[in-house]
Structure 1
């Protein structure tokens, strides 16, 4: 393996780590980290919205004669400050980590640990945004020429704030680091086909169907059903010539194990292995869904032992 491929693998591994969060349920979620460019687009949109609100209020006050022209700039800065903080905090609280700008570009704030967003985290990250960008940026724009040192300090501070997200794989700014959050692209939902509604693959022999009694479906729970579903979906993708034999052996072993477990007396021919599993999956799923309607949630095949222990 050459050095170029090694570097590519390292970059890919860093990207994979950045795009994965672990929620409390224990199932890792892979989400693409939002880049600086798309976040800037959302930020500009939100700034324009808050500026629009502040400008509208200024126009109303100016037309009514409540303020003079000498105080418009100072009052405008104050209104912009007073509007944008509630705007960012309340919109992200209401829309679960999204502002109008984020919704338009389809990104959102998530907890870095995979948990739910807290009010404390959203308030902290948006208050820190003031200290990182807005207040120093306001100083750069409003300070006079005789305060050039302060203007340069503010400018350097803003540049450092923009550079921080480029130094970490999660593109976290300082406020995200303190709040334990980062920004991701919204995943594109892809609905898989329902295995229970699909017909088994056609076989060479005449198939009369498989029937299962309730006591035969009383051995497995949701975990085993999900495992069987994963295996059946893998069969849909097909097998290569190299792993065909091992797949056939695995299929036969699973059928035999299930047949013995549930007490299915009839032997299953080789060509009926996959239809048997499909039929058993459909029957087992329907049975578990029916039991769940009556409050019987069977997580796995050990549910009976767990109930006795309780």
Structure 2
């Protein structure tokens, strides 16, 4: 009996790869494994270590440090470089460091909401308490304090085991901040939905979208909308239909606020509105792509702005 209840409860649990955003449409975002996260972490450690070594060489060259204090000052310099690097890079790149960008992974909010600066700061400060500070203590202690060394080693080991046991591969910092790490989705548009659906193509001309209104979303959001429209042909129960209608209403309100669409959408025209927006958005993205402007998601504008403000030596 207990085994049957456990199996039933396991079936009812959502997949760890499924994230439910406020719009109400479930997204399949694969959870990143421990190996990929470790590779991204090693990359970031190499970058921050290079920066710390360069700064230590400069301090030694100008006589601000001595061989006797090299280890203590080096640990402090590494700490002062590490904290701003992780926090500022994840805030500036929407949940990514250089290591995560190379591994094509990113941090997302565990409840599907927007990623906040508070969560990113908290998860990175907890990383210090989980690994870096105990590891630094372990390396700096001598054989005269074996208890402190064993305690540090035990704490680091426990913190490294926790992500392996968690189904979302979260460490303590992720649990406290309400985040987990996913693989970046690859936006792939299927065959044009406009050519398949006949039921929704009538009277679409009543909805007109201007060019600046179509600049807010990219291929990934269009793919999500496409999946929603395709699901309308699937027969469901009356209760599920009510939930789906409520989801569609919430999505339309979200789109209208995002693009500044002032006209109200009657309940009878909701699917037509989404179909018209899909058609216009797809045509807009395809035209942009002809000119080499690939817009993978709604964050492309921030990435373009960051690239435009980068130093010219980066482009060299």
Give the TM-score, by structure 1 length: 0.64
Partner residue in 1 for 2:148: 150
- Of 46, 50, 53, 1:52 maps to 50
2 CA distance for matches of 1:293 and 1:77? 51
Determine whether 1:285 maps to 2:252. Answer: no
Paired residue secondary structure (2:128) = helix
Unaligned runs of 5+ in 1: 1-5, 197-275, 304-310
Paired residue secondary structure (1:139) = helix
Number of aligned residue pairs = 217
RMSD: 2.9
2 CA distance for matches of 1:45 and 1:15? 34
Displacement of 1:300 after TM fit?
3.5
Displacement of 1:176 after TM fit?
0.8
Partner residue in 2 for 1:300: 267
Unaligned runs of 5+ in 2: 211-258, 271-316
Partner residue in 1 for 2:96: 98
Displacement of 1:195 after TM fit?
3.2
1 CA distance for matches of 2:13 and 2:137? 36
2 CA distance for matches of 1:289 and 1:17? 38
Displacement of 1:299 after TM fit?
5.7
1 CA distance for matches of 2:128 and 2:160? 13
2 CA distance for matches of 1:294 and 1:113? 28
Partner residue in 2 for 1:245: none
- Of 130, 134, 137, 1:136 maps to 134
Decide whether aligned partners of structure 1 residues 144 and 25 sit closer, same or farther in structure 2, where only a CA change above 3 A counts: same
2 CA distance for matches of 1:69 and 1:93? 36
Displacement of 1:290 after TM fit?
5.9
2 CA distance for matches of 1:165 and 1:64? 43
1:65-214 map, 5 Å: 65-196=63-194
CA contact under 8 A between 1:15 and 1:169: conserved in structure 2?
A: no
Over residues 21-54 of structure 1, what are the superposed CA-to-partner deviations in whole Å (9 max), with x where a residue is unaligned?
A: 1111011111111011100001111111111111
Give the TM-score, by structure 2 length: 0.62
Over residues 166-211 of structure 1, what are the superposed CA-to-partner deviations in whole Å (9 max), with x where a residue is unaligned?
A: 2221111111111111111111111123233xxxxxxxxxxxxxxx
Decide whether aligned partners of structure 1 residues 290 and 43 sit closer, same or farther in structure 2, where only a CA change above 3 A counts: closer
Structure with higher Rg: it is 1
2 CA distance for matches of 1:66 and 1:152? 34
Over residues 112-141 of structure 1, what are the superposed CA-to-partner deviations in whole Å (9 max), with x where a residue is unaligned?
A: 100001111111111110000000111111
1:212-251 map, 5 Å: none
2 CA distance for matches of 1:192 and 1:145? 63
Displacement of 1:13 after TM fit?
5.4
